[in-house]
A and B are shown apart, each in its own frame.
Chain A
Amino acid sequence: MTEDPAPRASAAGSRRRSPWGRGSSRQLLALPTFGWTLLFFVAPLSILLLYSFGQMNLITFDVHFGWTLDNYRQLNQSLYVHTVVRSVLLSLGATLGCLVIGYPVAYTLSKQQGRIQTLLLIGVMIPFWTSFVVRTYAWVNLLQNGGPVENVLHAFHLSHGSLNVLYSPTAVWIGILYSYLPLMILPLFVSLERIDPGLTHAASDLGASGLRAFRRVTLPLSMPGVIAGCILVGVPATGEYVIPSILGGGKTLMYGNVIADQFFQVGDYPFGAALAMTMMAVVTLFLVVARSGLSRVEDVT
């Protein structure tokens, strides 16, 4: 927060004599990013929207654009409603889990210094460098009946009998929690690291207990990181495809799987498009809520 205003001020001040030439030639630098986004992001999403109102002849595979709402009405079937609800719940559950587990870790990291901190940060990142598919597959091994997790739980008398977790929503939840945890820890770490330690010292000097200083100073100041982490985990997790297809065992499907099935197995593109657009709407809603939360937090701090 303290380092933000300076570059902005210098950027504004330098507009008069930029080293990057003036006028139209410098504007060319914006062409690749906006061109690519327009051509391969905005245009495809627009066609997706068009398709979602279209209809497909299932014999000739021709798509007619008829502005019909049939595809969206079809969503009302219990299979799809259940899948959407399950995806949202699993995603919210995993986001909450990541927050509860990730916060103490990010807090510990922010209290370390120099080389140790760097090493720990790399330690959080390294799992990313092992194949995501194979790491998820390893959970099949860990969670299966008679597997290591069951043995450990038995050893500590935390459960009896078979675990029966694999190929259930719980397994998918663990898989998402595991895979997305670093994405929660990193933004939390950044926001915690920025907090001036003097503020918590001041709070304790004024008589606040450690817990109270944390609750009244550290926690509110780290809210931007909390919200950023929740967005980074919650949004992609809602559309997760790989984890449910490995750990859900074909029974616990999520939204992403249902969409992919429409394209790869059923071949009903307009309905698949309607499913995808609905997911986009759900996610946008989530983002709007999160962003309004963020701006409220930033107003306070």
Chain B
Amino acid sequence: MVRRLPSMVSAFTVLVFVFLYLPIVVVVINSVNADKFLVSWGGFTTKWYAKALNDERIRTDFITSAKVAVASSLISVAIAVAASLWARNARVWSRRALDATTYMRIVLPEVVLATALFIFIRRLHFQLGVTAIVIGHVVFNSAYATVVIQARLATLPISLEEAATDLGASPRRVFQRVTFPLLAPAILVAVLLTLSFSFDDVVSSLFLGGTNAETLPVLLLGLIRISVTPEVNAIAVGVMLITLITFACAAVVATVRGSIGVRSTPQAPDVEE
């Protein structure tokens, strides 16, 4: 009994992984399925890819999504790094204030945040569009980034930075030469996380884009609601490939940096080239 339970549990785990990947398999299969109602297998085709690639609106929305994702990710991570460094030496109650606001921004249902920002922006006669979407995404993305970076910072001994200070390094130099390299892995994780959250977001983008800006997920939701549109599967596979390649590159960079960074940080730029 004691021995058999874990094997049952791992068999169950395999089933759950099947469950997690089943829809993705369906998306990949349907992206090359010639049956335009996607009811059954209608033979292999690449026409949905061609259709997606030649669609002006899809291309524009992809670029809008990418812009929003990059901008919101960079702003979020910068805010998070500053906040985490501040919190490390802050008083207990101010650290609690940061934790509370971070927590609230993560758990508040997005619909509430999106409606609030929508009314706020309309009330101030500010324009809905790309900037508004970025503002909205930064609200929750900076919270996620703060969690990631604070977690890493908590494991780093402050003694290294103190040693640098004692040796006469200015605060700026300490950050450049000690803190930033130590934080780099967490910053990378935070960038990737916020990029993918932003790129995949529907609700905030829907409310805050107005008629001026449309992101890819908003377009996809619109296409799906109207009728069966097989090209959405091709778009999803394309985006998935781009994401996987980006992440793989990031992983390679992180490993290379990690393996050489341990031994000699100053030489890192030479080796990377």
Residue of A nearest to B173 (CB): A19
Number of residues of chain B lying within 8 A (CB) of chain A = 92
Enumerate chain A residues within 8 angstroms of B21, measured Cβ to Cβ. 127
**Contact mask for chain A residues 16-38; partner B; CB cutoff 8 A; 1 contact, 0 none:** 01111100001101111110110
With contact pairs A131-B217, A131-B235 given, residues A260 and B111 touching in the complex (Cβ less than 8 Å) = yes
Q: Is the CB of A20 within 8 A of B89?
A: yes
Interchain CA distance A283-B123 in the complex, whole Å:
26
Identify B221's interface contact among A105, A130, A133, CB under 8 A. Answer: A133
Q: How far is the CB of B1 from chain A (nearest CB, A)?
A: 7
Chain B neighbourhood of A132, CB < 8 A: 200, 202, 217
- CB-CB under 8 A from A272, the residues of chain B are 115
Shortest Cβ distance from residue A277 to the other chain B in the assembled complex, whole angstroms: 8
Which of A51, A128, A239 lies in contact with B196, CB distance below 8 A? A128
- Shortest CB distance B156–A (Å): 8
Is the C-beta of A111 less than 8 angstroms from some C-beta in chain B? yes
- Does B117 sit at the interface, judged by CB under 8 A? yes
Q: Which of A108, A124, A138, A236 contacts B109 (CB 8 A)?
A: A236
Whether B82 lies near A33 (C-beta < 8 A) is yes
In contact, A111 and B6 (Cβ under 8 angstroms): yes
A29-B85, A259-B115 in contact; A210/B13 too (CB < 8 A)?
Answer: no
Is A207 in the interface zone, CB < 8 Å from B? no
Please pick, from A10, A124, A136, A211, the residue contacting B20 in the complex, using a CB distance under 8 A: A124
**CB of A289 within 8 Å of the partner chain:** no
- Min Cβ gap B133→A in Å is 12
Are B119 and A283 neighbours in the complex by a CB distance under 8 Å? no
Collect the chain B residues with CB atoms within 8 Å of residue A255's CB: 111
For residue A76, give the distance in angstroms from its CB to the closest CB of chain B. Answer: 20
Expressed in whole angstroms, the minimum distance between the Cβ of A181 and any Cβ of chain B is 7
A129 touches B240 (CB 8 A): yes
Fill in one digit per residue for B161-201: 1 if any A CB lies within 8 Å of its CB, else 0.
11011000101001000000000000000000000100010
Residues of A within 8 A of B26 (CB): 138, 141-142, 148
What residues on A are CB-neighbors of B247 within 8 Å?
129
B98, A33: Cβ atoms closer than 8 Å: yes
A30 contact from B94, B108, B233, Cβ within 8 A:
B94
What is the 8 Å Cβ interface bit string for chain A, positions 263-282, against chain B (1 contact, 0 not)?
A: 10000010011001101100
Chain A residues whose C-beta falls within 8 Å of the C-beta of B171 in the assembled complex: 19-21
Max chain B Cβ within 10 angstroms of own Cβ: one of A20, A102, A210, A239: A20
Complex contact B108–A280 (CB within 8 A): yes
Residues on B with C-beta less than 8 A from A209 are: 1-2
Contact of B23 with A142 in the complex, beta carbons under 8 Å? yes
Q: Does A41 contact B (CB under 8 A)?
A: yes
A26 engages B89 (CB within 8 Å) = yes
Closest to B23 in A: A138
Chain A contact-residue range equals: 35 or more
Indicate if the CB atoms of B111 and A41 lie closer than 8 Å: no
For the complex, what is the distance from the CA of A259 to the CA of B187, rounded to whole Å? 35
Measured CA separation A252–B38 after assembly (Å)? 24
Taking A32-B83, A131-B236, A276-B116 as contacts, is the C-beta distance between A10 and B111 under 8 angstroms? no
Among B19, B221, B239, which residue has its beta carbon within 8 angstroms of that of A242? Answer: B221
A48 at the interface (CB under 8 A from B): yes
Cβ–Cβ < 8 Å partners of A273 in chain B: 115, 119
A137 part of interface (Cβ distance < 8 Å): yes
CB-contact partner of A133 in B13, B118, B202, under 8 A: B202
Q: Do A44 and B9 touch (CB < 8 A)?
A: no
Min distance, Cβ B113 to any Cβ of chain A, angstroms: 7
Q: How far is the CA of A141 from the CA of B17 in the complex (A)?
A: 19
Instruction: Verify if B267 is at the interface (C-beta below 8 Å from A).
Output: no
Contact yes or no, A48 B116, CB < 8 A: yes
Residues of B within 8 A of A256 (CB): 109, 111, 203
CA distance A29 to B1 in the complex (A): 56
Instruction: Report the Cα distance A26→B16, complex, angstroms.
Output: 48
CA distance A263 to B1 in the complex (A): 57
- 25 example contacts (A-B, Cβ-Cβ < 8 A) are as follows A19-B158, A26-B86, A33-B80, A36-B79, A36-B138, A40-B135, A44-B116, A44-B120, A47-B123, A48-B119, A101-B19, A104-B13, A108-B12, A127-B24, A128-B200, A135-B23, A136-B23, A181-B20, A209-B1, A211-B2, A239-B112, A259-B111, A259-B112, A276-B112, A283-B109
Apart from A131-B236, A138-B26, what are 20 other A-B pairs with CB-CB below 8 Å? Answer: A19-B164, A30-B82, A30-B94, A33-B80, A33-B83, A33-B98, A47-B123, A48-B119, A108-B12, A123-B20, A129-B240, A133-B202, A134-B235, A138-B24, A139-B23, A141-B38, A144-B39, A209-B1, A246-B221, A272-B115
The 7 closest A-B pairs by CB, nearest first: A239-B109, A210-B2, A134-B236, A138-B23, A29-B86, A44-B120, A44-B116
